Amino acid sequence: MGEAHSDEFCHCQGCAGKYTLLRDEENPRLAIFERRLPCCGCGIGWSSFLLGFLCPLIWYFAATLYCCKYYNKDPRERPGLAASAVAALIFTVLATIALSVALIICVYK
Protein backbone atom coordinates (compact mmCIF):
# COMPACT_ATOMS: atom_id res chain seq x y z
CA MET A 1 0.00 0.00 0.00
CA GLY A 2 1.06 3.55 -0.56
CA GLU A 3 2.06 6.04 2.02
CA ALA A 4 -0.49 8.13 3.81
CA HIS A 5 -0.35 11.90 3.75
CA SER A 6 -0.43 13.65 7.09
CA ASP A 7 -3.28 15.94 6.03
CA GLU A 8 -5.60 13.05 5.18
CA PHE A 9 -7.45 11.71 8.19
CA CYS A 10 -10.45 9.45 8.49
CA HIS A 11 -13.58 11.44 9.17
CA CYS A 12 -15.89 8.62 10.25
CA GLN A 13 -17.67 8.70 13.59
CA GLY A 14 -16.08 5.47 14.84
CA CYS A 15 -12.46 6.61 14.96
CA ALA A 16 -13.05 10.40 15.14
CA GLY A 17 -10.07 11.23 12.92
CA LYS A 18 -7.45 9.26 14.89
CA TYR A 19 -6.36 7.17 11.92
CA THR A 20 -4.61 8.16 8.71
CA LEU A 21 -6.09 7.03 5.40
CA LEU A 22 -4.01 4.60 3.35
CA ARG A 23 -4.07 4.64 -0.44
CA ASP A 24 -2.05 3.06 -3.18
CA GLU A 25 -0.92 5.86 -5.46
CA GLU A 26 -0.08 3.47 -8.33
CA ASN A 27 -3.34 1.52 -8.30
CA PRO A 28 -6.31 3.30 -6.67
CA ARG A 29 -8.55 0.23 -7.27
CA LEU A 30 -6.77 -1.60 -4.44
CA ALA A 31 -8.49 0.57 -1.84
CA ILE A 32 -11.82 -0.86 -3.04
CA PHE A 33 -10.90 -4.36 -1.89
CA GLU A 34 -10.48 -3.69 1.80
CA ARG A 35 -13.91 -5.13 2.47
CA ARG A 36 -14.36 -8.71 3.54
CA LEU A 37 -14.88 -11.50 1.00
CA PRO A 38 -18.24 -13.29 0.89
CA CYS A 39 -18.68 -16.88 2.14
CA CYS A 40 -17.17 -16.49 5.63
CA GLY A 41 -14.28 -14.39 4.37
CA CYS A 42 -12.67 -17.01 2.13
CA GLY A 43 -14.43 -16.03 -1.09
CA ILE A 44 -16.62 -17.78 -3.61
CA GLY A 45 -13.68 -19.55 -5.27
CA TRP A 46 -12.23 -21.26 -2.21
CA SER A 47 -15.68 -22.02 -0.82
CA SER A 48 -16.58 -23.64 -4.14
CA PHE A 49 -13.33 -25.59 -4.08
CA LEU A 50 -14.02 -27.01 -0.63
CA LEU A 51 -17.72 -27.69 -1.21
CA GLY A 52 -16.85 -29.35 -4.53
CA PHE A 53 -15.56 -32.37 -2.63
CA LEU A 54 -19.14 -32.91 -1.46
CA CYS A 55 -20.81 -32.03 -4.76
CA PRO A 56 -18.42 -31.81 -7.76
CA LEU A 57 -20.97 -29.82 -9.80
CA ILE A 58 -19.96 -26.80 -7.72
CA TRP A 59 -16.49 -26.99 -9.30
CA TYR A 60 -18.08 -26.57 -12.73
CA PHE A 61 -19.99 -23.51 -11.51
CA ALA A 62 -16.75 -21.97 -10.23
CA ALA A 63 -14.95 -22.91 -13.46
CA THR A 64 -17.66 -21.08 -15.39
CA LEU A 65 -17.14 -18.01 -13.20
CA TYR A 66 -13.40 -18.25 -13.85
CA CYS A 67 -13.87 -18.50 -17.62
CA CYS A 68 -16.26 -15.53 -17.56
CA LYS A 69 -13.58 -13.52 -15.70
CA TYR A 70 -15.64 -12.98 -12.56
CA TYR A 71 -12.34 -12.22 -10.79
CA ASN A 72 -12.24 -8.82 -12.54
CA LYS A 73 -14.79 -7.65 -9.96
CA ASP A 74 -12.48 -8.70 -7.13
CA PRO A 75 -8.97 -9.99 -7.99
CA ARG A 76 -8.74 -11.81 -4.66
CA GLU A 77 -11.20 -14.39 -6.05
CA ARG A 78 -8.86 -15.50 -8.85
CA PRO A 79 -6.79 -18.18 -7.01
CA GLY A 80 -9.85 -19.93 -5.57
CA LEU A 81 -11.70 -19.91 -8.87
CA ALA A 82 -8.61 -21.21 -10.66
CA ALA A 83 -8.25 -24.03 -8.12
CA SER A 84 -11.88 -24.97 -8.66
CA ALA A 85 -11.40 -24.96 -12.44
CA VAL A 86 -8.38 -27.26 -12.13
CA ALA A 87 -10.32 -29.55 -9.77
CA ALA A 88 -13.18 -29.70 -12.29
CA LEU A 89 -10.74 -30.63 -15.04
CA ILE A 90 -9.13 -33.38 -12.95
CA PHE A 91 -12.54 -34.71 -11.89
CA THR A 92 -13.68 -34.81 -15.51
CA VAL A 93 -10.59 -36.75 -16.60
CA LEU A 94 -10.85 -39.23 -13.72
CA ALA A 95 -14.59 -39.74 -14.21
CA THR A 96 -14.07 -40.34 -17.94
CA ILE A 97 -11.36 -42.93 -17.26
CA ALA A 98 -13.45 -44.65 -14.58
CA LEU A 99 -16.50 -44.84 -16.85
CA SER A 100 -14.40 -46.15 -19.74
CA VAL A 101 -12.89 -48.89 -17.60
CA ALA A 102 -16.33 -49.80 -16.21
CA LEU A 103 -17.74 -50.01 -19.75
CA ILE A 104 -14.87 -52.21 -20.92
CA ILE A 105 -15.30 -54.53 -17.95
CA CYS A 106 -19.06 -54.82 -18.59
CA VAL A 107 -18.61 -55.52 -22.31
CA TYR A 108 -16.01 -58.27 -21.86
CA LYS A 109 -17.73 -60.14 -19.01
Q: Name the packing angle between helices 57-67 and 78-107 (round to 10°).
A: 130
Asked if residue 56 belongs to a domain, the reply is: yes
Q: Is there a domain that residue 91 lies in? A: yes
pTM for the whole thing?
A: 0.65
Range of the domain at 67: 44-108
Classify residue 89: in a domain, yes or no.
Answer: yes
Which percentage of the chain shows pLDDT scores above 90? 44
pLDDT one-digit tens code per residue, 22-45:
565 666 665 555 666 767 777 888
DSSP lists the bridge partners of residue 20 as 9
Task: Say if CB 42 and CB 49 are below 8 A apart.
Answer: no
> What domain count does the chain have?
1
Residue 54 is predicted with a pLDDT of 94
Does residue 8 sit within a domain? no
> Is 82 part of any domain?
yes
Whether residue 103 lies inside any domain: the answer is yes
pLDDT at 93: 97
Residue 29: inside a domain: no
Mean pLDDT of the 42-70 span = 91
